A and B are shown apart, each in its own frame.
Chain A
């Protein structure tokens, strides 16, 4: 199965490049716009986290993102050489509190969890690897 791959530097302006990459993968596989958006958003939130954490510690040099489709599953793998960070351990935000009490922390990872069907994290040597699975089912909308 053809895999598409992109390398991003640790800079937030790279999110637009990521978006073009996901769009072109989506068009290639005839994915509906909402599905492409959801995949893009999940990857954006992970990459934003990696850049924000990685640039704080100063050891992030690049992020690689690969996408492939196997049957009805879209598989995304995000790897970076920044400090160890496991998004699967992030606490779920409290979505029911009022405007004044509402915290923003954890919202990005909450979106990733809700927009994908599976997420797993591995630390391999000095690299982080996050694997996302998303069903490529036709959109209801």
Chain B
């Protein structure tokens, strides 16, 4: 609660500062102003556009959006969130933000090459860019200040290793968006950490299909004793599927939601790989504000990692409450 209130206070303070700035700005006829002594802090309206590749209504990206908007509220920076799963359309949204001359840009790069011209264009226009979520390797080369995210491959590897430590022998990795490169990297990583992994393709927009296909997979190959899903909703479907055929397989998943939390509590889900995407929304806003006010840069070109944080039975009680709040 207190942090909330101080956030409001901060907002009022910044708002007042902006108001003052706006008052003095146009009437700056005082010849003493503009002397070399002053810090060249930029004033005036400062807006940040967050443009992700998530589809509308995606639970994961909703948490990112919450993070960005919370940071914006607390810092008094207007934040606008837009998203489009199609890389071409995402590029156009970036162009749109550049045309609006936003003060800062936060972009997720599922398909780095496709958004490259738009990001470079933004950088050329003097707009500081922070990349989030995916695209870690390309971030610096495109001229972004920093990258905030988790390495998908590393996260997958950790999940694979954790399964192995739990004594599992055969792993099934469930991909729910056929063309998503990050998901393929996760399964590749899981295969590295575990030794090998089979893949199963399902369609996230059709939960019945997801459940049926996972059921079919564990039925036809009873030696599968570990199922890794890459999305919390798919995890719930996998748990149901496994219960239906009384398979001995255990599920672990990427990303948290209320269902996953209760499934971890009840032991149906072994663990969840949480990349703490709230930070991916929150931190870039802070970074961009610090860059603007103080020319601070974080990480010196190295990515800032938000995860993975493995959530299992020992930590799930605390974290569960935050999931309900929409921030984990």
A, B bound: no
Residues of A within 8 A of B (CB): none
Residues of B within 8 A of A (CB): none
